[in-house]
Amino acid sequence: MKILLLGKNGQVGRELQRSLAPLGTVVALGSKDERWPSDFTQPQSLRQTVEALRPQVIVNAAAYTAVDRAESEPEQARRVNATAPGVLAEAAESCGAWLVHYSTDYVFDGSGTRAWTESDAPAPLNVYGQTKLEGEQQVQARCRRHLILRTSWVYGRHGGNFIRSVLRLAAEREELRFVSDQIGAPTGADLIADVTAHLLRSVTRSEIGTSEPAGIYHLAAAGETNWYAYAAYILETVRAHPRAPALRARRLDPIPSQAYPTAARRPLNSRLDTRKIQQRFDLALPDWGEGVRRLLEDWLQPPVIPHS
Ligand SMILES: NC(=O)C1=CN([C@@H]2O[C@H](COP(=O)(O)OP(=O)(O)OC[C@H]3O[C@@H](n4cnc5c(N)ncnc54)[C@H](OP(=O)(O)O)[C@@H]3O)[C@@H](O)[C@H]2O)C=CC1
Ligand SMILES: Cc1cn([C@H]2C[C@H](O)[C@@H](COP(=O)(O)OP(=O)(O)O[C@H]3O[C@@H](C)C(=O)[C@@H](O)[C@H]3O)O2)c(=O)[nH]c1=O
């Protein structure tokens, strides 16, 4: 099976390079590939890449993810998050390929306290969420064999994320403040990549031509937290470790969202109901804290080759 992976250098893309490898031949592209057009700000050029490679599966992990910056660069965000996925979807449809596309909890407005299901109506609060929603709609309209995986609060070994921000700030400052009224589930890029591979094994084994499992699925780690409690968990886990680095932070305080003004509004309730993906693909999703702890322990390992 030939798989085209776009966004190979992102948090999820790096893990997909590992998880997709056993499924077949993976052609993995970053934004500046010398062999194939892969710049999402030039959406039409992507058609050429798909037509030349004719993959059976396309996995799109590329996205414009700078939530605050998107407020002042809406057209750039829209090209990357909506127009380019639409072109990919059309090209995937014309070669009969499956298209995996990722989306976000930020398509919801964060109202209420119930976890969002796939059939709830999206109503994004910010440009990033709006362009990601438009991307979902493009993919749904143009490619029958699509899997849209909405996830939340992604962290990974590679690339910038909240865990790195917390550790950097804790090394620099004595007092930290984090919002405690936005609730969601931090989800590991490794989990997303592993589940993606599991789903692809399942759908590509189904009868040729069927698009029956196609659709939107929520994919997030189990449990929930808020950004303040998440930051506290990161710092406690690091401090309890015998190889903990020196941290200046002495105080960590919870604050309401209004006390932390940002260019983009963020949803208060980002909980995703993941029952559909678990039931449809016979999966169990681990608790968010497990994955965060594992990553921190890996980072704190001495850089030596283990004996066994
Ligand atoms: N990060 C998060 O918290 C969340 C992410 N998601 C979604 O998950 C998916 C993966 O996100 P994540 O791995 O965190 O993203 P990252 O920000 O880590 O990586 C995004 C990748 O997109 C690529 N990209 C950006 N602009 C372009 C462009 N113009 N042309 C081609 N490629 C481009 C970059 O490629 P390069 O490095 O080669 O320039 C980058 O490696 C995305 O769809 C995102 O919306 C959903 C919920 C939460
Ligand atoms: C750095 C910092 C952030 N915060 C708040 C701001 C924000 O509400 C929250 C998280 O901040 P970040 O900017 O790291 O997170 P943000 O970029 O909003 O994360 C989002 O990224 C996109 C791509 C998604 O799809 C979402 O699922 C989500 O993961 O923490 C503080 O309260 N104190 C701080 O010192």
d(CA 214, CA 197): 15
User: For residue 144, how many C-alpha atoms fall within 13 Å in the half-sphere facing its CB?
Assistant: 9
Whether the per-residue pLDDT at 209 is higher than 80: the answer is no
Our answer on whether the CB atom of 40 is closer than 6 Å to any ligand 1 atom is yes
In the DSSP assignment, the letter for residue 61 is: -
- Domains in the chain: ranges and CATH: 2-161+188-222+272-288 (3.40.50.720)
259-301 residue pLDDT tens = 999 999 999 999 999 999 999 999 999 999 999 999 999 999 8
- Report the pLDDT value the prediction gives residue 212, as an integer from 0 to 100: 85
Count H helices and E strands in the chain, helices first.
10, 12
182-197: burial string, b at 16+ Cβ within 10 Å, e else:
bbbbbbbbbbbbbbbb
Q: From the CB of 225, is ligand 1 less than 6 Å away?
A: no
Q: Taking phi first (over 0 means left), then psi (-120 to 50 degrees means alpha), and beta for anything else, what does residue 30 get?
A: beta
Average pLDDT of the chain to the nearest whole number: 96
155 in contact with ligand 2, CB cutoff 6 A: no
Percent of the chain at pLDDT above 90?
Answer: 93
Q: Above 80 in pLDDT, residue 25?
A: yes
- 210 band by pLDDT with thresholds 50, 70 and 90: low
Distance from residue 54's CA to the centre of ligand 1 (Å): 23
Given a cut of 90, is residue 229 above it in pLDDT? yes
Distances (CA, A) of 206 to 25, 144, 195, 202: 20, 14, 17, 7
ipTM: 0.99
Sign of CA dihedral 248, 293, 13, 118: negative
Is residue 208 scored above 50 in pLDDT? Answer: no
**pLDDT tens digits, 171-180:** 999 999 999 9
Q: What is the pTM of this model?
A: 0.97
